[in-house]
Amino acid sequence: MNRYGATCMPASSELPGRIIIRGLRCRGRQGPTPADQQQAHDYLVDLELSVDIADAVAKDELAAALDISAVASCVRDEVARRPRVLVERLTADIARVLLERFARVSAVRVSVEKPEPAGLDAAAEAVELTLSRGLRSAPAASPRSPPRGRA
């Protein structure tokens, strides 16, 4: 502990942190029909990234921190990459690509909001889906998948 009451930690120590990005506006194509999938829609994406920030704190340099502009670009690229039928798939794809591309990220929480989706019949509405995944998270089995037998 230093004279100000703060504990000094060596740069090699782990310091878990969360980086939160809210309302990242993205354009993509999603919907249940091919016609829906041809029409681009706006999506609002919220991200919560678990990341070790010890190096960034110790060095106080941009190079030591997670590049949030690269994170935002990665998310926008993934949303725009291809059409999907379900918001669930879009959300899972965003979580997967973040964990694959950014080694510093150990877990993600992704929320995708689709403003004014068809079918809710209200003046102002949105549908939102949230998914949390870590590096060891396995995709959920489909309820229609047959049970696995022993080999």
Active site residues: 114
d(CA 93, CA 110): 10
- The per-residue b/e assignment along 112-144, b for 16 or more CB within 10 angstroms, e otherwise, is bbbeeeeeeeeeeeeeebebebeeeeeeeeeee
